[in-house]
Each structure stands twice: as C-alpha cells, then as structure tokens.
Amino acid sequence: MGRPSRRAATAAIETHIAVLKGEPLKAALATALRDAEGLGGQERRFVALAARELSRHTRLLDLAARQLGHSPGKHVLTEDQALVRYTLWRRLFCGEAWARIGPEVKLPGPVRPRTLHDAVLEGLVTKPLAEPPAAEGAEAVVERLATRYSFPGWLTQRLSQVYPEATLAGLMASLDEEPSLHFRARPPGTRDAVLAALAEEGVAAEAVPCAPDALRVADASHRIFESRTMKGRRLQVQDVGSQLIVLACLPPGASLTGLAVADVCAGAGGKTLGLADLVGAKGKVLAGDRSKRRLSDARDRVREFGLKQVAFPHPVPLDAVDVVLVDAPCSGTGSLAREPDQKWKLSAKAISEFQATQSALLAEVAAQVKPGARIVYATCSVLPEENDAVVEGFLAKHPGFALEPVGEGWAPELQVGVDGPFLRALPPRVPGGGFFAARLVRKAG
C-alpha cells in the first residue's frame, strides 16, 4: 500500500482533481508525482494507489457521501468533491479513524481552495453509515453490482446481458481491484530457470499455469525490478491475457520460428517483444502504429532488449508476412483495473464508434494479406460488440476467410482461456485483465 502522509495525500487528491477536470489518470498522476517534493518511494507508491482507488470506487464513495448528507452535486468546488472521496476512501477501504485521517486532510491543506471545514470531514469519518435496503429482481441485481463494484449503470446492464451473475460478479470484482504484476519469462520455455534465478536472489515468485511463460511475484517490495534477472532482460512485464494473444499467433501445431509477422497496432511494443522472441533470430517482426508517440516507445523497448529481428517499416508490407496481429483500438473494458478512470468516460456511443473502427481496420488488413496468411484479431475488451460481433460481421462480408480455432494443440492448463473457437481470457479465471482473440485464415485461391 505504501506509506500515507500529508504530502502523499496532497498529491493523491491533486491527481483526482485533475481527473475530475478531464485529464487522463496516468498523465495526472505523473504530473502530481513530478511536482511533489521530497516524497519517498513508499509515499509515491501510496499516491499511485490512492489516485487509482478514488477513480476505481467512485460510485460507492459517492453513495456513502450521499448517506452522510454530502451528495457530489452539492459541492461547488471540484476540490471539495475530491476531499470527500479521499476521506471516505481512507475510512471505508483503509479502515482508518479520524486520528489518522485528520492530519492528512485538515486545514490549511492539503488543497486550496476549499469550502469544507475540518468538522465536516471529521463527520464523514465518525458518523454511522446505514446498510442500503435489500432489493430483489433483475434490476436490483444490476444496481447492487454497479454500486458494489463502482461501475456505470449502463455498462453493468450490458454486461449482465452477456454473463451469468456469478461470472459477472467475479469479473467486476477483478476489474475493481488493484491489479497484480505479471511477467513473461524469456526466452520462451525458460520459466523454471528464471524462477530458480529469482529464488537465488531472494525474490519470491511463482508460475501462472494458464500461460506457458507467465509468472507473478509474491514479494510486494518490488525488489524484482532491481534483480539481476530483470536487468539481464530475462523478464518482461506483461499481462497473462496479453501473453495468450501472442500465443494465439502460432499456427496450429507449428511454431513462428523463422516466419515473418506483422504487428500493425504495436502501441508501446509489449506484444511486439513477445512475437520477436517466438520468431527467433531468423524470423522477422514488422511493427507499425498510427500513434508516432507510442511507436517511439516500442522502438525504445526493442532497442533496450537488443532485438535485431524487429523493424519499423512504413507502411508495413502486409503481403509479405505469414501472420498479422491486429490488436485493435478498443474500449479497454478488460483493462479497467489498471485504468479505472476510463469506465466513467465510456458510453454506448463510444462502443459503437470503436466497433466501426475495428471492422474497418480488419477489412483494410484483410485486403492486403496473401493466401494462407493468418490474421489474429485481438482486443482488451470484454464486450461482444467489439469481439464476437466484429469477427462474425467480417466473416459475413469476406467469404475468402475462415475462422480457425484458437487453442488447438494447447496444453490442458492453457485451455482455461479458450471459449469455443475464441480466446476469451476473463479474470479471475485467467488472472489479470480481460482479453479476446480470434484467428482468421485467408483461403488459398
């Protein structure tokens, strides 16, 4: 959790104020940490956690505020709203009393201007909270889940139409938690050796069985980032579902060694690195992205890992490759644990716009690939509009392509993320974020 302090509280609240004013959480947090003076490592860790938690639990915190007579609509100042949420978060999620919270939020700080007196904030901590009345019926289930896990009502309603209640509750609970760090051991197939090397350095880690090279660290001190194993490039931070998407690029019963692969939405290069390890020194990965800034990050990572088999041609010659990964722009509903502010920025209209972009991108790629080539369409969304519907719509318009099941030939422990012909990595069944992938092959002739 890190170490709370008055300065750390100030940075966390300032981050949330910036988010409420429309700034992305990642950017707001980076600014607050840069501007904060004298924060130690544990304080910075607390700031990052608190900032994410305030966005993560917004709905539940606002419900508690309303019960205590401080509805968000009553606050004239954004600063007041952020102070109320922070105070209630420290009470409800950290279990702290006013004796601990007070020094963090009392006047003359941590933020100005404000209209709330110290006595008001103390009341938020000391006044009793009543349990909300129990309700029954389908609508009550949606309301209960939306409140408990702080999701927008429209999104909870849509998810309830897709997943059974037990599955939905587990999914929402996972997306409402601070995510664990997962790593990929490299080169492929060396996870046991990497785990042994970490153990020698005193870092407690364990294998994640549903991906062949995945592991997680049980040590919360983050010593792994200072380990010789990490500095020796034997590890890459990567979500388990993301690793499975890379694995889905493997042709059934074959390997990518020596093949040419394109990553057309490479972003910051996470999957590009995984593909490079699979094709080996004799293969080729051609990476591209419409965002020059993100592609610059990918170039830096490729250079850092010393991968000579990755190139960044523009445009990427898709007719010359065997596999194309289309990690399409999406709503990110499977990544809300890492970017909790995004769930309050989404809308049904935005989902429709993503779907149109995804369909157009898939059609654009399909027009360029050679016969026998495979397209792996992937998202970090848990909504069928961006997953199944896009694939089914594509196949209906492109009879020259066929759906090839993902997971064919995979070991039984890897099948936990497979759902029919698709990869559907849903937490908590597959730890980490929620991911989807489908594999399409262009027919010969």
Summarize the annotated binding site as residue ranges.
289, 327
Q: Are 283 and 323 in contact (CB under 8 A)?
A: no
Task: Write out the binding residues for S-adenosyl-L-methionine.
Answer: 289, 327
**Given 210, 249, 265, 380, which residue is catalytic?**
380
Q: Enumerate the β-bridge partners of residue 417.
A: none
Evaluate whether 215 touches 242 at the Cβ level (below 8 Å).
Answer: no
**CA–CA distance, 102 with 114 (Å, rounded to integer):** 16
Specify whether 265 is catalytic. no
Report how far residue 285's alpha carbon sits from residue 263's, in angstroms, rounded to the nearest whole number: 7
Token pair listed for 91: 């009470």
> Could you list the active site residues?
380
